[in-house]
Amino acid sequence: MLSNEPSSGINRRNFIKTFVILSASSAALEAPWTGFVLGDISSTADESTAILKINVSDFAALGKAFGSVRISTSLVSGTTNNSIFPVLFVNRDDKNQFFSVSAECTHEGCILPLANTTTRITQCRCHNSRFAFDGTRLAGPASAPLQQFVTRFDGVDTLTIEVPDRGFSVTSTTLQTTPGRVRLQFLAFQNIEYEVLSRSSLDGAWQKTPFALTEAGPLNQTSFKGKDDFTNLFVAQDAGISFFAVSMKLRQV
């Protein structure tokens, strides 16, 4: 694992401690993704926790009572998912309360479908276990409820969801051999796509930032697919940029 503290010679400007903070831009399957990552500004007590952020307004289903979406970083094939990041249901009740629960059946791990819009019950396609809107087990061979995740709604549009054991860290180093370039190093997981963002200040807007795959390579890449190994991406250290970040991309599945 990479250290969560800056090494000697790396100051706050160039060090990034990143937990996964994501935002989906579209409710359509296979639509373009956007990422939103906060660096060492919003840490959690447990550095292995991923912080997932979504805008309710980006999902038509969540704009009404008993709306539900299923999200992750990789597509679901039938009842299986090959991503290290879990598949989640985000559900809204009729009292403006949101529930974020795992979409993995607690019997044998099959990925559950969206709940029936009338009964608001999801039924496992593998062995028929049934679960309520809030993840409560109702029937079937499953012996436990679906895992619930801490979820906070800001009362306007943003949901913040804490996902244990899915955090990752990124370190950055100014290159002496290639002036004006910064190396971002992190563990990039298989079946997950990443992008680089930058901004000029703590409260500035994040902008998608092109990067290179080698120290002196062209800055013409906008997306990188993980391979279960540490990777290096290279960005330009422009005068107007103070913070870089790496984002996992999210989709509705």
Bridge partners, 245 (sequence order): 197
Q: Rounded to the nearest 5 degrees, what angle is found at the Cα of 163, between the Cα atoms of 162 and 164?
A: 115
Residue 18 resides in a domain: no
The pLDDT of residue 21 is: 34
Same domain, 152 and 182: no
Domain encompassing residue 78: 49-163
Q: Is residue 210 part of a domain?
A: yes
Distance CA 121, CA 240 (A): 50
**Residue 3 in domain:** no
> How far apart are the C-alpha atoms of 252 and 239, rounded to whole Å?
36
Contacts (Cβ under 8 Å, ≥6 apart) of 140: 107, 123, 124, 127, 128, 129, 130
End residue of a domain, out of 148, 163, 178: 163
Q: Is residue 41 part of a domain?
A: no
240 is a domain residue: yes
As a whole number of angstroms, the distance between CA 130 and CA 139 comes to 5
* Whether residue 78 sits in one domain with residue 157: yes
| pLDDT of 199 | 79
Domain count for the chain, please give it: 2
Q: What's the CATH number where 56 sits?
A: 2.102.10.10
Q: Are residues 53 and 146 part of one domain?
A: yes
pLDDT at 153: 92
**63 three-state secondary structure:** helix
Does some domain include residue 238?
A: yes
pLDDT in tens, the chain (253 residues): 122 222 333 233 332 333 333 332 222 223 333 333 322 223 344 556 777 778 888 888 999 999 999 988 877 888 988 777 789 999 999 888 999 999 999 999 999 999 998 999 999 999 999 999 999 999 999 999 999 999 999 998 888 888 877 666 777 788 888 888 888 888 888 878 888 888 787 677 778 899 999 999 999 999 999 888 899 999 998 877 777 878 777 777 8
Question: How much is the pLDDT for 127?
Answer: 96
- Residue 118 contacts by C-beta under 8 Å, 6 or more apart in sequence? none
